[in-house]
Structure 1
Amino acid sequence: MSGKSYLPIGTVIFATLFLLQGCGFHLRGAADLPASISPVQIQGLGEYDALRLELTQLLEGNSIDVVDKRAQASSQLRVSSSSSRRVLSVDGGGKVAEYELHESAKFTLVSAEGHKLVSEQSIDLIQTYLNTEDEILGKQQEESLLRKDMQRDLASRLLRRLQSQL
């Protein structure tokens, strides 16, 4: 050997985890929500709405029960969302070259007694993608995946907003 010393991999991993812990790093979706809002009812989104499913998963992952009936809930998370797509640019032949995707949500958290725990807020996300004419099926899948990622990001941001307000 040439006299170089190497750190064992375990030491490097431990040091990295220690640094991440010290800087306030948390796993995505991890939020410190008060137990007093549990159980929560999500209002305004359909049963199989992608945002509702993401919110339910994140809330339950943070030890907040999600219920369907208002009578069982300690609080209601009132959410409305919208999705849209618009043409961002066209090529020389008049074909769409780029799209812009919009996802937005408005929300408020209300106690069972009707008191606002978190005032109404909105979250808006925008994502662009190129539209090449020769990859039509791939671009449809790309848009679907982008929307799913945007829904996941909306839910995560909504939870972080709840955490900061409560």
Structure 2
Amino acid sequence: MTRHTGLKTCYVLAALLALNACGFHLRGSGAEGLGQNLYLDGIAPNDPFVADLSDALTVAGGKRAGSALQSAGVLRIYRAVHSRRSLVLSRFGRSTEFDLTFRVVFDVRSPKGEVILSRQEIEVKRDYFNDQTIPLAQTAEEGVMRAEMQKEAAEALLRRAAFAIKNSTAPKS
């Protein structure tokens, strides 16, 4: 290793230490430290959104509970739906631009069934252009966008649930 490379390494380490010391956190890490068990209800266990919720919960330090009584809260999913709407038509009458939407309707309850956070909706939207000359690539791109939208909705849902559960268990003054 040359002296120049060693100096670069030192500068990078110093910058990382400075960022860590000032309380810098990457975006999207708001639910980290949840450290709670949540019970998922109202959605099929094999739904792809359940896998995204479980992954986000694990990253946040929590786990899926086996029953409502073993959890800090119950996350009830009423609906998790993708939709696709045409925005622009080409001169040949084919759709070339689409609006993708993923909606999740949910509420958060205590293990005893009391409503902590009333029914809410999270909506994630993306627009994309479909070239029509490479349809297989466009289909793959849409699939990736849908998966990213589900992950974003799962993270937002967990942040809201964690905040609601934390505030419901906080001592009232």
The structure-2 alpha-carbon separation of the partners of 1:20 and 1:85, relative to structure 1 and needing over 3 Å to count, comes to farther
Specify the code of the residue in structure 2 equivalent to 1:76. Answer: V
Q: Is the 8 A contact 1:101 1:128 kept in 2?
A: yes
- Normalised to the residue count of structure 2, the TM-score between the two structures is 0.79
User: Which residue among 54, 57, 66 is the counterpart of 1:59?
Assistant: 57
Compute the displacement of 1:158 (Å).
Answer: 1.2
1:123 is matched with 122
1:11 is matched with 11
Specify the SS of the correspondent of 1:25: coil
Compute the displacement of 1:150 (Å).
Answer: 0.4
Q: C-alpha distance in 2, partners of 1:102/1:31?
A: 23
Q: C-alpha distance in 2, partners of 1:44/1:99?
A: 30
Compute the displacement of 1:133 (Å).
Answer: 1.5
Count of equivalent residues? 159
Compute the displacement of 1:102 (Å).
Answer: 0.5
Which segments of 5 or more consecutive residues in structure 1 lack a partner in the other structure? 1-5
1:47 is matched with 45
Deviations 1:80-99 (A, max 9, x none): 21110010100111111111
Q: Is the 8 A contact 1:33 1:162 kept in 2?
A: no
Q: C-alpha distance in 2, partners of 1:163/1:33?
A: 9
Q: 5 Å matches for 1:1-166? A: 8-19=8-19, 22-26=22-26, 28-29=28-29, 31-32=31-32, 35=35, 38-79=36-77, 80-165=79-164, 166=166
Q: Is the 8 A contact 1:32 1:163 kept in 2?
A: no
Greater mean deviation of Cα atoms: 115-124 or 67-76: 67-76
The structure-2 alpha-carbon separation of the partners of 1:32 and 1:138, relative to structure 1 and needing over 3 Å to count, comes to closer
Q: Identity, % of aligned pairs?
A: 25
Q: Is the 8 A contact 2:109 2:117 kept in 1?
A: yes
Q: State the 4+ residue runs in structure 1 displaced beyond 6 angstroms.
A: none
Greater mean deviation of Cα atoms: 23-32 or 143-152: 23-32
Specify the SS of the correspondent of 2:134: helix
The structure-2 alpha-carbon separation of the partners of 1:14 and 1:54, relative to structure 1 and needing over 3 Å to count, comes to farther
Compute the displacement of 1:115 (Å).
Answer: 1.6
Q: C-alpha distance in 2, partners of 1:138/1:92?
A: 22
Q: Is the 8 A contact 1:105 1:154 kept in 2?
A: yes
Specify the code of the residue in structure 2 equivalent to 1:99. Answer: F
Q: Is the 8 A contact 1:100 1:129 kept in 2?
A: yes
Specify the SS of the correspondent of 1:8: helix
Q: C-alpha distance in 2, partners of 1:21/1:106?
A: 38
